[in-house]
Amino acid sequence: MKIIADNTVPYLKGILEPIADVRYLNSNEFTPTNIQEADALIVRSIDKCTRELLEGSRVRLITTATIGYDHIDTHYCDEAGITWKNAPGCNAASVGQYVLSSLLSVALRKGEALRGKTIGIVGVGHVGSIVERLCEAMGMRVLRNDPPRAEKEGQEGFVPLDTIAREADIITLHVPLTKEGRFATYHLADDAFFDKLARKPWLINSCRGAVHDTRALLQAKREGKISELIIDCWENEPHIDPDLFALATIATPHIAGFSADGKANGTRMCLEQIERFFDIKIEKIKEVIPPTPANPQIDLNAFGEERIEKAILRSFNPEEIDSRLRATPDRFEWFRAHYDHPREFHAYQIIHATPQEQSILSELGFNLSAINAR
330-369 residue pLDDT tens: 999 999 988 999 999 999 999 999 999 999 999 999 999 8
85: confidence class by pLDDT, cuts 50, 70, 90: very high
Q: Are 207 and 189 in contact (CB under 8 A)?
A: no
Q: Are 196 and 222 in contact (CB under 8 A)?
A: no
Quote the CA–CA distance of 224 and 243 in Å, as a whole number. 15
Neighbouring C-beta atoms of residue 272, cutoff 10 Å: 15
* CA gyration radius, the chain: 21
Residues with a catalytic annotation lie at: 208, 237, 254
Please give the share of the chain, as a percent, with pLDDT higher than 90: 94
Q: Which of 96, 170, 113 is nearest to 306 (CA)?
A: 113
Quote the CA–CA distance of 244 and 136 in Å, as a whole number. 30
Neighbouring C-beta atoms of residue 185, cutoff 10 Å: 20
Mean pLDDT of the chain: 96
pLDDT for residue 45: 87
DSSP state of 293: P
Instruction: Identify the structural domains of the chain with CATH numbers, from first to last.
Output: 2-88+261-287 (3.40.50.720), 92-251 (3.40.50.720), 297-368 (3.30.1370.170)
Contacts of 332 (CB under 8 A, 6+ apart): 237, 238, 240, 253, 254, 325
- Going edge to edge, which strands form the sheet with 170-173? 141-145, 118-122, 170-173, 202-205, 228-231, 250-251
User: Could you give the 3-state DSSP secondary structure of residue 211?
Assistant: helix
Residue 374 has pLDDT above 60, yes or no: no
Please give the backbone phi and psi of residue 209, each rounded to the nearest 5 degrees, phi first: -60, -45
Residue 68 has pLDDT above 90, yes or no: no
Quote the CA–CA distance of 202 and 194 in Å, as a whole number. 12
